[in-house]
Amino acid sequence: MRPDLADVLAAAQVIAGVADATPLVPSPHMSAICGHDFLLKLENMQPIGAFKLRGALNAVAGVQEAAGVTCCSTGNHGRGVAYAARARGIRAVICMSELVPQAKVDGIRALGAEVCIIGRSQDDAQAEAERLVREEGLTEISPFDDPKVIAGQGTIGLEIMAARPDLEVLLVPLSGGGLAAGVAMAAKAIKPSIRVVGISMDRGAAMHESLRAGRPVEVEEVASLADSLGGGIGLKNRLSFPMCRDLLDEVVLVTEDDIYHAMQVLYYEDRIVAEGACVVGLAAVLTGKVSVAGPTATIVTGRNLDMDMFTRIITGQDVALGDTVIEGKRYGT
Ligand SMILES: *Cc1c(COP(=O)(O)O)cnc(C)c1O
């Protein structure tokens, strides 16, 4: 049931030609701070603007053409499933609630998926996806707790280790853990001594809380600059939880202020536009929350962010997030 390196190698064949083998580029600024090469894996350059295309393509490949696929993510997973299904000529139905902003609905539709708008909560959308599975024979694709999805994300680890066999530390943004599980499994199969650190925001970090509790637990979801890292891991989690438990050397948490600053660093020093979720690895190094001893890489996981909010951050303005305000600070002051 647990995917292994052979599954990742097979996934690499399956996704080739649709998902890109993205560049792994040095960050001179971060390298100078670390005293070692610090590398950025640019998954923000994937066709959908995020790495989730990899897992979605590998999962969709296992589904009968006639049936079709469904999920209820309005974020990068929904985009990945929509794009992967269209690339393979398979029907995709993405379920979402009436409260989802029109821009997100339009974005998913533009990728060729059917959008099913139902109810007023994520739970209603989830119930509809489950109905489509029961009554119409669609296959639901999990964003992280699926062996094909994990193997697909693992291809990132394969590419990184092929490019830099001397790598000693991998810093991986962590939410549901499909990315961290796949990347850690592939990287450690190739180089057992590599240290893999999962990084989340310090409010509402479901995997971190679950690892501490020793079983999947629920956490309250809180607004974060790293919005792609929000959400639970599922109380019935079968794969990404035990894999993260066994494969991650450590999990580190960063604050919203840390993320705000690291977004400025990635923008001004490396000229990269990326989501808050992408910079948690930089933030952990910049704040000394992880120390790196050797060549280090992190994954710039996606670029699908609210540009108004991004503009506020890079110009040093305050950002309102749910019940809190992050105090602005101009970069370099
Ligand atoms: C989904 C996602 C993550 C986290 O991946 P998990 O497999 O859920 O841990 C990180 N960054 C971005 C941009 C994402 O879309």
Per residue in 35-94, pLDDT tens?
999 999 999 999 999 999 999 999 999 897 778 999 998 889 999 999 999 999 999 999
| Mean pLDDT (whole number) for 105-128 | 90
Q: How many angstroms separate the alpha carbon of residue 209 from the centre of ligand 1? A: 17
Closest protein CA for atom 2 of ligand 1: 228
Confidence at residue 160, expressed as pLDDT on a 0 to 100 scale: 98
Q: Is the CB of 76 under 6 A from ligand 1?
A: yes
Residue-wise pLDDT tens digits, 267-286: 999 999 999 999 999 999 99
Confidence at residue 1, expressed as pLDDT on a 0 to 100 scale: 86
- Nearest Cα to Cα of residue 57 among 144, 139, 152, 150: 152
Provide, rounded to the nearest whole percent, the portion of the chain with pLDDT above 90: 88
Residue 100 backbone zone (phi > 0: left; psi -120 to 50: alpha; other: beta): beta
Residue-wise pLDDT tens digits, 232-260: 999 999 999 999 999 999 999 999 999 99
Probe ligand 1: pick from 301, 304, 305, 310, max atoms within 8 Å of CB? 301
- Nearest Cα to Cα of residue 47 among 227, 309, 303, 298: 303
Spell out the residues 6+ positions from residue 319 whose beta carbon is closer than 8 angstroms to its own.
225, 260, 309, 312, 313, 325, 326, 328
Confidence at residue 319, expressed as pLDDT on a 0 to 100 scale: 97
Q: Is the CB of 302 under 6 A from ligand 1?
A: yes
Closest protein CA for atom 8 of ligand 1: 176
- Nearest Cα to Cα of residue 122 among 143, 147, 95: 95
Confidence at residue 244, expressed as pLDDT on a 0 to 100 scale: 98
Confidence at residue 62, expressed as pLDDT on a 0 to 100 scale: 87
Confidence at residue 162, expressed as pLDDT on a 0 to 100 scale: 98
For domain 52-140, is the CATH number 3.40.50.1100? yes
Confidence at residue 53, expressed as pLDDT on a 0 to 100 scale: 98
Q: How many angstroms separate the alpha carbon of residue 301 from the centre of ligand 1? A: 7
Residue-wise pLDDT tens digits, 144-192: 999 999 999 999 999 999 999 999 999 999 999 999 999 999 999 999 9
Closest protein CA for atom 7 of ligand 1: 178
Confidence at residue 277, expressed as pLDDT on a 0 to 100 scale: 96
CATH architecture entry for 5-46+146-326:
3-Layer(aba) Sandwich (3.40)
Residue 122: band (very low, low, confident or very high) from pLDDT cuts 50, 70, 90 = confident
Closest protein CA for atom 4 of ligand 1: 175
Q: Where are the beta strands (DSSP E) in the chain?
A: 24-26, 38-42, 69-71, 92-96, 114-117, 139-140, 169-173, 195-201, 250-254, 296-300, 319-321, 324-326
- 52-140 and 5-46+146-326 share a CATH fold: yes
Averaged pLDDT of the chain = 95
Confidence at residue 97, expressed as pLDDT on a 0 to 100 scale: 87
Residue 221: band (very low, low, confident or very high) from pLDDT cuts 50, 70, 90 = confident
- The secondary structure of 138-160 as a DSSP string is -EE--SSSSHHHHHHHHHHHHHH
- The secondary structure of 110-132 as a DSSP string is HTT-EEEE-SSSHHHHHHHHHHH
Residue 120: band (very low, low, confident or very high) from pLDDT cuts 50, 70, 90 = confident
**CA atoms within a 13 Å half-sphere pointing along the CA-CB vector of 39:** 23
Residue 102: band (very low, low, confident or very high) from pLDDT cuts 50, 70, 90 = confident
The residues spanned by each domain of the chain are: 5-46+146-326, 52-140
Residue-wise pLDDT tens digits, 7-18: 999 999 999 999
